[in-house]
Structure 1
Amino acid sequence: MDAVPGRKAPMASGSAPDLMYCQPCAEDGNKILPDAFCPVCKEFLCSTCARVHRNQKITKSHALQDKTSMPSSFCAESEDEKFSVTCQHHSKEFIKYYCPRHDALLCGDCVIENENHRSCMVEKILQVAKRYQEGEEYISLKTGLGQMVRDIENYILYIQVRMKSVDEENLTNINEFRKFRNEINQYLDKRENELLAEIDQTKRTSKTFLNELKTKYTNIKSATEKLQSDLHAHEANSNQLLIVGKRAIKELEDLQTALEKVSMSKDVSRYTFDRDPATERLLASETAIGRLKEGESTTTLGQQQQKQEKKQQEQRKQQESKQQQHKPTQAPSHKVNFQSSVDLSQSQFSRQPDIPMKTSGDTRNCFLSSVACLSGNRILLADYNNQSVKLILRPTWCCPRLLCQVDHGTCVNCPVTGQPSL
C-alpha cells in the first residue's frame, strides 16, 4: 500500500504523537515543518507552499489555517478506502492512476502490464482529482448535463403538446368523415327518389299507352261482332240480307284498315336499370369515400426551431424587397441593365396594335428568333422561317428597354411611363 505523503507511519500505542511535515515538500523528499493547513485540500503547507497556494488560480479561494488554528495531526484516509471503482480489465484492482497522454483510467496492473503507458507520465488519481473538480472539463460536463436535462424536458413538453394535438386531429377527422358521409347519404336519397319517380313515370306512361290500345281493339271487336249479329238477324229475308251484307263488306274493310293501323302502333318501350360505372368503380375502390392523407410531417423540436428561423429569414427578405420597391424611382437612364427585374404579377396589361413585319418576298409565316433595338427608333428583327433580317420603325407605344431584353428573359418598366409594357 502507498504511504500517505507528508506524515510518518503511526507509532505503537502509547508512543509520541505523529510529527507532521509540509506535504508538497515531502513529495520531493524534503522534511519541512508546516506553517499552515488547507482544510479543502487536506494538506499541511510550509510558508513557501502556503504563499503559492494562495496565489494559484485554482486554490486562491481556499481559506488556510495558520499554526494557531491548524490541527496538530491529521489522520488521512487510506487509499483503499477512497477508491471504490474497479478496473474494467482487472476486476480485483481499483482505479488509482490516470494517463493524460491517452486520457485513460488505470489500475496498478494496467500501469505495469500495458506497454503503451510505460513511457507516459502517469499521475495518481488523488493528484488529478483536485484539479479536475475545478477544471474546465468538469464545468463543461456539468453544463452539458444541465442542458441535456433541459432539452429532454422540452422534448417531453413537446410530446405532451403533440398528444393533445393528436386528440384534436382525431376528432376533426371523425367530424369531417361523418359530415361527408351525411352528404353522401343525402345525395343517394335524392338520386333514389329521382330514379323511383322516373321508374314510376315510365310505368304509368306504358300502362296508359297499353290501355289506349286495348280500348281500340275492344271497339273494333264490338263493331265486328255487331256486323255478325246483323247478318245473322237478316238471314231469313234475302232482300234485307243483301243490303246488310253489302254494307257489312264496306264496314268490314274499314274495320280491317283500322285494325291494321292499330296493330302498326309502336310497342311500349322496355326499361332496365343500368348501374353507374363511376359508382361501381367507387364500390370496388379500396379508398371509397376517402382516405387519410398525410399532411405536414411531424418534426422534432429542433427541426421546428430551424423551420421557424427559416420562416423569419424569409419574412425579413420579403420586407427588404418591399422596402426596395417603395424607394423613389430614379431618373430614366439610357443605359440598359440586363440584371434588373420587377414583379409583373400585379401589373395591368393592355393589347396594342400588331407590328406588321411580313414582306412581299416572304414565303412562310414570320417567326422571330431575336430582337434588337437600334438608334433612331429602329428595331432589327431576325426572321427564322424566312431566313432574313428586317428593319422596322418602332411604334411610339413600344418600350425600348423591354425590346432590348427580350432575349435575356428580363422584363423591366418603361423608362418613360414607369409601367410595364408589352
Structure 2
Amino acid sequence: MAVPGKKMPKNFSSSTSMSSDEYVKVYCQPCDHDGTRLPAHGYCKDCREHLCETCFVFHKRHTLSRHHTLLDKNSMPQTMSSASVHPSQPDLTKPCTKHMKKVIEFYCQNHKALLCSVCVTLEHTGTSCKVNYIPDISDQIINSKEHLDILKSLETITEQCHKKSEDVKKNTAKSNSSLTTVLADIKKFRIEINQRLDELKKQAEDAAKAIHQENNNNLKTVETTCDDVTKSVKKLSDAIKHLNTTKQTDSLFMELKFAEEMIKDYEKSVNQLPAFDVKEYNFIPNKAISNLLDNEGSLGTFTEKSLKDTSPPAVDIKSRQTSHQGEICVKTSKDKRICWIRGMTLLTPDLLIITDSFNNAIKMVNTRSQSVTDQLQLDTTPVDVTSVTDTELAVTLPNKQNIQFISVSSNKLKMKQILKLDGKCCGISYCQGKLVVSFTTPAKLQILNTSGTILTTVIGENIFSKPIHVTTNTNSIYISDWEMKTVTRLNWQGEVIGSYGGMVEPGAITLSDDGTVLVCDPSRNVIEEIAGDCSTGKIVLKDLNSPHALCWCAGTSKLYFSCNTGVDKDNNFVQVFKLL
C-alpha cells in the first residue's frame, strides 16, 4: 500500500512513470499500485514485495507487518519476477458485515473470521491474533484441499437437499393419498349417520301415524254405533207417533212396551262404547342427540400414521471447535433483584427471549446490539418459554398452572390469552401446531393443541420423576428429568423410544440443527451433546459456572446459555459461544 504523505526523492526524475522500466529496474511495488514508481530500498519476504525507503520504515511499524522478515537494499533481490512487475489488482470488494462502509481485507487464523481494517484494529490485534492480508495468502487456495473439501461439502448439501426433497415429495404423496381415503371415510361416516337418523325419523313418523290411525278407527266405531242407534230410534219414534195419531190403541200399547225394552238396549249400546283417550301431542327432540350435536366440536379426529421409520441412526458425536463470543448483560433498571434466567428461545437470530424468574419478567434481547429492548412484567413467576410463531410466544406459569401467550409486535411484548392446565407446569416446546408441556406435580408430560385440548398424556413412575425441560422436532420429544438423571426420548404417540443416562443433574435442553441434543448439567458445570437416538454423548463445554437455561441458533452456530450461581457476575449475563 502507498504511505500517506510520502514524498518523491529529490534525485528521482518527475518524468518517471509506470512505463519507465528503463530508468528503474527494481522499484517499490506498493507505490507502483498508486501510479508512482520509486526505487526499491528493501524487500519483504512475507509480502514478497520490494519497498521504497518510506514504505520500508512504515512496514516495520505497522501492526500487521511488524513481524515480517525484511531484507535491506544490499540483501534484497535485484530483479523482479514477471508476476511482480505486472501485479494484478486485489479483488477486495465484499463489504464487512459489521462495518458496512469497509471491505473485507484480512483473515484471522485464530478465529477463522473474515475482517475489515476496523475489525483488526478493534477486535483482532496482532498480540492476540494471527491476521493475514488476504492477497498475501489467497494464491495458496487454487486447487487446494480446502477448495476441494468445500466443493465436496456443497455437493453433499445439494445431494441432501435433493434427497430431502424427494423424501418429502414421496411422503407428501402418501399423505395426500391417505387424506383421499380420509375424505371417503368422512363421507361414508356421514352417510351412516344420515341412515341412522333416517331410521330414527321413520320410527317417530310410524309412531305418529299409528296414533293417527287408531284415532280414526275409534272415531269410526263411535260414528257407526251412534248412527245405527239414531236410525233405530227414529224409526221407532215415527211408528209410535203414527199409532197415536190413528188411535190404534192396542198396537200403540204394545209398541210403547216394546220401545221401553228397546230404549234399554239403545242406552246399553251407547254406554258400552269404549272410553277412547283422545289427546293432543307435541314433539320433544331427543336431548342426547341434541346435546351431542351442540357439544361435539368435530365429526371425528385424524390420527397420524408413520410413513417411514423416523428413528435417526446411532451417530458418533463430532468434535466441535468452540470459542467464547462474549456475554450480554440482561439486568435492567426495572429489576429489583438479581436475575435468574430459567428459559430462553430465539424468534430470529437477532431476537432472544428470556424468562427472569426472580424479577417476574419476560425480556426481549437484541443479540446484535447486546441489549434488552423490552421487558414485560408479570404478577407471577415465569419458568420456560417457546416460540409458537415469529410473533407469538408461550410461557409456563407453574404457580398459577397456566400457559401465558404473548405477542411480539413492533419490538414490544404484550400479554394475550391464557391456557388453563391441570398441574404444575415447567418445560414447554412447540412443534407443528402442538404444545408439549412437562409437569413436576404430578410428574407427567402432556401434548396439547393451542386451544388446550389434551391429545396425549404420558405418566409413569418408570418414565418420569421430576421432568424439568422439554424440546421437540418433527420426529421426537426429548425430556430432561432432574431426579431420574436421564434424557428420555418419546415419539409423538407418547411411547419411549430412547434414553440417555450418566448425567448428574440434567436441566435445560435444546436441539442443534443436525439433530443432536444439547443439555446443561449444572452439577458438573458442563454442557453435554447427545446423539439424536440417545445412544452416545460427549461434553462440548466444561468449566462453566452452573449453566442453567440455553438455546441454539442454527443460522449463526451460536449457543446462548445462562448461569445460576447466585452471584451478579454470573446470573445477570447470558453467555454466547460459537460451536463449529
Structure 2 length-normalised TM: 0.36
**Bigger radius of gyration:** 1
Q: RCO greater where, 1 or 2, for CA within 8 Å and sep 6 or more?
A: 2
- Could you tell me the TM-score, scaled by structure 1's length? 0.48
Structure with greater helix share of residues: 1
